A = this chain, B = another copy of it.
Amino acid sequence: MKKGILFVVSAPAGCGKGTILGQILKDKKFYYSVSATTRKPRPNDVDGVTYHFLDRTDFEKLIAEDAFLEHAQYCDNYYGTLKAPIEENLSQGKHVILEIEVQGAMKVRELRPDAKFIFIAPPSFEVLRQRLEHRGTETPEVIEKRVDAAKKELEMKVNYDYCIINDVLDDAIADFKSVVRAEELKIQP
Contact = CB atoms under 8 A, between A and B. Distances in A.
Interface of A: 119, 157-158, 160-164, 174-175, 177-179, 181-183, 185-187, 189
Contacts of A186: 161-162
25 contacts: A119-B187, A157-B187, A158-B187, A158-B189, A160-B187, A161-B186, A161-B187, A162-B182, A162-B185, A162-B186, A162-B187, A163-B185, A163-B187, A164-B185, A174-B181, A175-B185, A177-B178, A178-B181, A178-B182, A179-B181, A179-B182, A179-B185, A181-B182, A182-B182, A182-B183
How many chain copies? 2
Contacts of A158: 187, 189
Contacts of A160: 187
Nearest to A160: B187
The 4 A-B residue pairs whose C-beta atoms are closest, nearest first, are A182-B182, A178-B181, A178-B178, A162-B185
A175 B183 CA distance: 11
